[in-house]
Amino acid sequence: MSNPSILILPGDGIGQEVMAEVRKIITWFGDKRDLAFDVSEDLVGGAAYDKHGTPLHDDTMAKAQEVDAVLLGAVGGPKYDDLDFSVKPERGLLRLRKEMDLFANLRPAQCFDALADFSSLKKELVSGLDIMIVRELTSGVYFGEPRGIFEEGNERVGVNTQRYTESEIERAARAAFELAMRRDKKLCSMEKANVMESGILWREVVIEVSKDYPEVELSHMYADNGAMQLVRAPKQFDVIVTDNLFGDILSDCAAMLTGSLGMLPSASLGAPMENGRPKAMYEPVHGSAPDITGQGKANPSACILSFAMALRYSFDQGDEATRLETAVEKVLADGIRTADLMQADGGTAVSTSEMGDAVIAALNASL
Ligand code: NAD
């Protein structure tokens, strides 16, 4: 049988720097864990625009559709700010998400003990936190029609439409239940069924899907209360599923509970392919960070942890994913930090590649 395939799209700015560290880790798993991947690499974002005049070449799009998982760094940068909207670096990313039909966005909020002081919440509220937000990514108010700014009488009116079909809700809910089954078997669905018909339908469909997952304890919460609960007592949650708009806000809110942008991974999953693996793209939450590009200051952890998600959700290697996450945690616990994770009172920051090397050393120590 051939090896599972990965397409690496480092993109722009620090995307290239953090992805170099992920490449080392992929090689380590091939050498030391007999987990070899067929890795190919291509351009996206500004880097693709510079070469092809488009932020995502059709050939790259076709490759992304064929591989088992796409790993993306970050796109964008000041050099491209004045480009026409249709060829801006971000359009490459949006095209990947749209054409791969990645409808479930997974954003973990996990707080490593060593970083609990970086949270804006009290340490005891976030220490050991491990929750997962599943956001529906391809429908809802960001896509619904009608939309636009219209003349009405003697003034303008701005219109967006929240619209969900049963099947769109069902597939997002199913993805969330599947995740809950692999975790603590607790799922909280968030909507505004008190004031929105789309929320009533959301709740009904989630309840219907729950019949296939009797082991999962399902609860429902209005999204505004959900936001409050996330900052009041975040550890009450395991998996949260919600729509595109609420998920956008709630996942950013939950992510910041953990402190640093350089630590946040994400996954976007679509329907299963012929081999049973979901269409999938893994990427750090952060952008291309032009302010620190080329200085060896980027924290590669978010990108490394995104690869750990790929091990777990695309390649069914949960134990190896945990091995990698534990290695990152150990490095941080040992006080090895990139500049973004240094406290004001000192210590010496390691570079991006030193951080990657430290994770490799921790992986070696795990054998
Ligand atoms: P950003 O995430 O690039 O940076 C925000 C701040 O966080 C900066 O100070 C940066 O130095 C710091 N930071 C980010 N990642 C870090 C890391 N791994 N290690 C250490 N520090 C890190 O957001 P921005 O400055 O608003 O955007 C810069 C560019 O990135 C823009 O062109 C934007 O459009 C693009 N962007 C792309 C993505 C993506 O590719 N998914 C996401 C967000 C922004």
Cβ(96) – ligand 1 distance below 6 Å: no
Question: Is 198 a domain residue?
Answer: no
Q: How far is the CA of 353 from the centre of ligand 1 (A)?
A: 19
The per-residue pLDDT for range 272-310, each reduced to its tens digit, is 999 989 999 999 999 999 999 999 999 999 999 999 999
The per-residue pLDDT for range 68-83, each reduced to its tens digit, is 999 999 999 999 999 9
Task: Report whether pLDDT(345) > 80.
Answer: no
Question: Is 244 a domain residue?
Answer: no
Q: How far is the CA of 356 from the centre of ligand 1 (A)?
A: 19
Write the DSSP assignment of 30-98 as a string of letters: HHHSS---EEEE---THHHHHHHSSSS-HHHHHHHHHSSEEEEEE---GGGTTS-GGGSHHHHHHHHHH
The per-residue pLDDT for range 162-204, each reduced to its tens digit, is 999 999 999 999 999 999 998 999 999 999 999 999 999 999 9
Protein residue with its CA nearest to atom 16 in ligand 1: 262
Predicted local distance difference test score (pLDDT) of residue 61: 98
Predicted local distance difference test score (pLDDT) of residue 158: 96
Predicted local distance difference test score (pLDDT) of residue 346: 64
Ligand 1 atom having least distance to the Cα of 80: 32
Cβ(9) – ligand 1 distance below 6 Å: no
Read off the pLDDT of each residue in 59-67 and give the average, rounded to a whole number.
Answer: 98
Domain ranges, residue 315: 1-108+262-367
Q: How far is the CA of 3 from the centre of ligand 1 (A)?
A: 33
Cβ(259) – ligand 1 distance below 6 Å: no
Protein residue with its CA nearest to atom 27 in ligand 1: 287
- The widest CA-to-CA distance across the chain, in whole angstroms, is 72
Question: Is 306 a domain residue?
Answer: yes
Q: How far is the CA of 96 from the centre of ligand 1 (A)?
A: 19
Instruction: Locate 291 and state its tokens.
Output: 């302010």
Question: Is 233 a domain residue?
Answer: no
Q: How far is the CA of 259 from the centre of ligand 1 (A)?
A: 15
Q: How far is the CA of 9 from the centre of ligand 1 (A)?
A: 16
Predicted local distance difference test score (pLDDT) of residue 301: 97
Question: Is 114 a domain residue?
Answer: no
Predicted local distance difference test score (pLDDT) of residue 10: 98
- pTM comes to 0.93
The residues carrying an active-site annotation are 142, 192, 224, 248, 252
Predicted local distance difference test score (pLDDT) of residue 258: 80
Predicted local distance difference test score (pLDDT) of residue 152: 96
Protein residue with its CA nearest to atom 11 in ligand 1: 289
- pLDDT above 70 covers a percentage of the chain that reads 99
Question: Is 196 a domain residue?
Answer: no
Domain holding 306: CATH number?
Answer: 3.40.718.10
Question: Is 33 a domain residue?
Answer: yes
Cβ(92) – ligand 1 distance below 6 Å: no
Cβ(117) – ligand 1 distance below 6 Å: no
Predicted local distance difference test score (pLDDT) of residue 260: 79
Cβ(291) – ligand 1 distance below 6 Å: yes
Give the count of domains, the chain: 1
Cβ(187) – ligand 1 distance below 6 Å: no
The per-residue pLDDT for range 117-155, each reduced to its tens digit, is 888 899 999 988 999 999 999 999 988 999 999 999 999
Protein residue with its CA nearest to atom 30 in ligand 1: 287
Question: Is 209 a domain residue?
Answer: no
**Residue among 256, 355, 280, 283 at smallest CA distance from 15:** 283
CA quadruple 88, 44, 62, 21: dihedral positive or negative?
negative
Higher pLDDT, 359 or 128: 359
Mean pLDDT of the chain: 95
Instruction: Locate 326 and state its tokens.
Output: 């534990």
